Amino acid sequence: MKTIVMIAFVMFTGIGYAQIDVPQVSSAGSVSSTIGLTEVKIDYFRPKMKGRKIFGDGPDVLLQNGKIWRTGANSGTKISFSDDVKVEGIAVPKGEYLIFTWPGATEWTVSLYKDLTIGGNTDQYDKTKEQANFKVKSDKLAERVETLTISIGDISDDNTTAKVQIAWENTSVKFTVKTDFDAKVMASIEAHTKVDLNNLVTAAHYYFDSKKDLKQALKWMDEFFADGKNGDQFWNLNFKAQIQKALGDKAGAMATAQKSLDVAKKAPNDFGYIKRDEDLIKSLK
């Protein structure tokens, strides 16, 4: 009986010790960003310099120029896209890919690789499984980056492009991801304006801000105001007047802006639209 108890004790204590967690040498990292309507996410492991020379040529360098690198530690680096994108002008379907790189003194080769099963095993690399392969310039950083850092930044004003940056030691490389959300927005406009009249205003704002067909934007606003319940929305009347002004219809814009002003003056709170209407009317004279 004593023997059985001792065996059980050893088994349970052994299980307890198996649960001990310790930090990884290369910590896990993750970064994500929405570009337009597309989510871009990168998962990777972050090696540290630890006094080593990282990039270059010679026996003391960790990553030799021209040699394939898993672009991180452990199982390598994965990048995913929630929609089809273009990376450095190359079409990349939505999905998840490994990032492999070949560092160089002034230029890197970057590959997005379709077979995730190889992880960081560069010796299993098969060129036929590349989704994209391109070259980008490498730049020198003024300040040293001790731990490998991958980021998503430089998002363009129109939310269509961003740059993925790989930075380590005193080296930085960037590549461009381009998205196309216009088709998605257009499909959403088509589907939702038939259900909710408020979406007509959203659609009109998108056309106005994107400098698309302003006549269509005005048509949507007219359709919105055809419902008599919406006539007291002075903020949307002001917006309609702006569209009319952009179309060169000064008389129409003046009439709509005046209507907006009259309604705004009767509201408990005009949210600043009285002045907006007055400024708009002044600009039309």
Res 38 pLDDT > 80: yes
Per-residue pLDDT of 71-86, as tens digits, reads 999 999 999 999 999 9
User: Domain span at residue 139?
Assistant: 24-178
The residues with which 153 forms a beta bridge, in sequence order, are 163
pLDDT for position 17: 53
Same domain, yes or no, for 115 and 149? yes
pTM of whole model > 0.75?
Answer: no
Q: How confident is the model at residue 9 (pLDDT cuts 50, 70, 90)?
A: very low
Residue 245 included in any domain: yes
What average pLDDT does the chain have?
Answer: 91
Return phi, psi of residue 235, to 5°.
-65, -35
- pLDDT at position 18, please? 62
Q: Please check whether residues 133 and 231 belong to one and the same domain.
A: no
Taking only the tens place, the pLDDT of each residue in 181-229 is 988 888 888 777 666 889 999 999 999 999 999 999 999 999 999 987 8
Distance between CA atoms of residues 103 and 90, nearest Å:
20
The domain boundary, picked from 160, 178, 196, lies at 178
Residue 70 sits in the same domain as residue 173 = yes
For residues 261 and 220, state if they share a domain.
yes
Same structural domain, 28 and 162: yes
Are residues 236 and 169 located together in one domain of the fold? no
Question: Would you say residue 13 lies in a domain?
Answer: no
3-class DSSP assignment, residue 279: helix
Q: Same domain for 45 and 129?
A: yes
Q: Last residue of a domain, which of 128, 152, 178? A: 178
Task: Please state, as a whole number, how many other Cβ atoms lie within 10 Å of the Cβ of residue 140.
Answer: 9
> Confidence band (pLDDT; 50, 70, 90) for 95?
very high
Q: Within 10 A of 171 (CB to CB), how many other CB atoms are there?
A: 21
Helix (H) or strand (E) holding 17: helix 2-17
Q: Judge whether 85 and 177 are in contact, CB under 8 Å.
A: yes
Which residues contact residue 185 at a Cβ distance below 8 angstroms, ignoring those fewer than 6 apart?
A: 37, 206
Which of 6-10, 52-56, 249-253 shows the lowest mean pLDDT across its residues? Answer: 6-10
**Could you give the C-alpha distances from 211 to 37, 188, 205, 206, 214, in angstroms and in order?**
19, 18, 10, 8, 7
User: Over 50: is that where the pLDDT of 50 sits?
Assistant: yes
Alpha-carbon distance of 57 to 49, in angstroms, equals: 16
Give the model confidence (pLDDT) of 234-266 as tens digits. Answer: 999 999 999 999 999 999 999 999 999 999 999
pLDDT digits (tens, 9 = 90+) for 230-239: 889 999 999 9
